[in-house]
Amino acid sequence: MANGVLRTGRVALALRLVAVWGPGLLVMLADTDAGNVVTAAQAGAQWGYRLLPLWLLLIPPLYMVQQLTVRLGVFTGRGYAELIREHFGPWWAWISVAGLAIATVSSLVTEFTAVAGIGELYGLSRTLTLPFSCAMLLLVATMGAYRRVERTAIVVGLFELAFFVVAWSSHPDHATVLRDLSHMPFGDRTFLYLTAAVIGATFNPWMVFYQQSGIVEKKLGPADYRSACWDTAFGAVLTQALCAAVLIAVAATFGSAGKPVLENIGEVSLALQPALGPSIGRFVFGLGVLGAAMVAAIVASLALAWGVGEVAGFRHSLGERPAKAGWFHGAYVAGTLGSAALVWRVADLVWLNIAAQVVNVFLLPLVLGFLVALASKALPAERRLRGWYRVVLIGVCCGVCAVGWIGGLSQL
């Protein structure tokens, strides 16, 4: 009898965890977006395994930052932009959303560039792939319920697991790994610039907006806090591991051939062909990139729509019809179609993807500054940032921003 009760309790706990999980995992899958993948590939091609430790070292800071959004969403029931408006005024709220818009458009351009590039590998013109991908994204917004959108996006994002297959098949040489890690070219400007791109790829501003609003939309409360933190922790490890897998695969198959500069998504695919073969390699990589690009496009577009709706003070829920939530759906459509139109005219260049990540670095002080300030001011007294953890968190945020800015400015 006791065993049966214990087993029932464990099942109930497991079901509760599954019900709560979603916003953290989804935002982390979106963090492994096409720009992140291309940045990892470029890092592996140019510098071998030298930037691999950075990706892994960023796991704790990534969790610490996103965990604040969990805390704010669960204990205040308000979105990030909404809290800024309440505690710092509409002017600062609109500035934060302006930064969000820049980051979102940069990311969406990157995602659509990747979709177009993968299509062109198979002879499909971007005049076909871009309208189709836009239609899919707009269809997602009409699903109504947040949980339905969340499940759909997670399924799409799981295609990213193909990157683990790519890394496993590349058979990295352990001696080469150790040799690369023993020599770090900190005086090289290109290395520093890629370091900034890695940081910008890891900390996307729209991640903060999305996860906090997603928690509010999902109606998670204080009882869900621990499960939501585990959701975020698992996602943080997964996203960095996926990017590390891309870097390892490219470094193993392409990094020893000098210092190439990848010009387009097709060249990244070619870099992986020696490991998997021309047909399978291209297909597996393409599948992973498409999954990464589409889930990131969904999350970034929703983050922009939620942010605009929260600051404007209008309805901003997926459950609301477009006629009742015009700001929300209008921002979603404008961000999606506008970014796709830009890609229609822009060449498929890797430098554009990497530059978009560096833009994120310059926006980090604004996003992280408000996040820490809100966690110190907007939360209930017993849940506010305090003590040594507050000091460590501020130190980590300042350190990440400083390294990112130094790297980003190194090319000037």
> Is position 13 within any domain?
no
Q: Is residue 333 part of a domain?
A: yes
- Tell me the Cα Rg of the chain: 21
Residue 6 lies in a domain: no
**What's the domain count of the chain?**
1
**pLDDT above 80 for 143:** no
Tell whether 11 is covered by a domain.
no
Rounded mean pLDDT, 219-240: 89
CB under 8 A, 24+ apart: contacts of 216-221: 216/73, 216/77, 216/78, 216/79, 217/146, 217/306, 217/317, 217/318, 218/22, 218/23, 218/146, 218/147, 218/150, 220/20, 220/23, 220/73, 220/74, 221/74, 221/77
Q: What SS3 class is residue 324?
A: coil
| Residue 2 in domain | no
Convert the pLDDT of each residue in 263-320 to its tens digit. Answer: 667 677 776 776 666 677 677 778 888 888 888 888 888 888 888 888 887 755 665 6
Residue 223 lies in a domain: yes
Q: In which domain, by residue range, is 325 found?
A: 26-409
Predicted confidence at residue 92, as pLDDT, reads 93
> What is the rounded CA–CA span in Å between residue 17 and residue 122?
41
Q: Report pTM.
A: 0.86
CATH number of the domain to which 54 belongs: 1.20.1740.10
Q: Write the pLDDT tens digit of every residue in 146-181.
A: 677 777 777 777 777 878 887 887 778 788 888 888
Is residue 7 situated within a structural domain? no
CB 308, CB 105: distance < 8 Å: no
Q: Is 21 a domain residue? A: no
